Amino acid sequence: MHYVYVLKSLKDNGSYVGRTEDLKIRLVDHNKGRVESTRDRRPLKFMYAEMSNNIKDAIHREEYLKTAWGKRYLKHRFKNDSA
C-alpha cells in the first residue's frame, strides 16, 4: 500500500503533504523530528490520508495536493477544523 498524507503544524498552522508505504512509522518519524522538512514545525497533527495500491497514482495525488488546486481542495476539506 502507498499512502498520501497531510499533517498540520500546530506551531505555524501550515500543512505538509507527504507519501509513504508505512504510514504509522512515518508519522512517528515526523513527530520525533527525524524528518528534516517538518523538524522545526512540530508539534504536528495528523489530518488526512489516502491509500493506493499503485505508486504512480500515489505520486500523482501527492503532486496534485501540493499544487494551488490541491491546496484549495485541502482548505475546503478542513474548513471546520479548529486546531
- Asked whether residue 55 is domain-assigned, the answer is yes
- pLDDT digits 0-9 by tens, 10-59: 999 999 999 999 999 999 999 999 999 999 999 999 999 999 999 999 99
**Looking at the domain assignment, is residue 19 inside a domain?**
yes
Single pTM value for the model:
0.91
A 10 A CB-CB count for 18 gives 20
User: Is pLDDT of 82 > 80?
Assistant: no
pLDDT band at 4 (very low <50, low <70, confident <90, very high): very high
The domain that holds 35 is classified in CATH as: 3.40.1440.10
Asked whether residue 83 is assigned to any structural domain, the reply reads: no
SS3 string of 10-77?
Answer: CCCCCEEEEEECCHHHHHHHHHCCCCHHHHCCCCEEEEEEEEECCHHHHHHHHHHHCCHHHHHHHHHH
Residue 55 lies in domain: 2-77
Report pLDDT digits (tens) over 50-65. Answer: 999 999 999 999 999 9
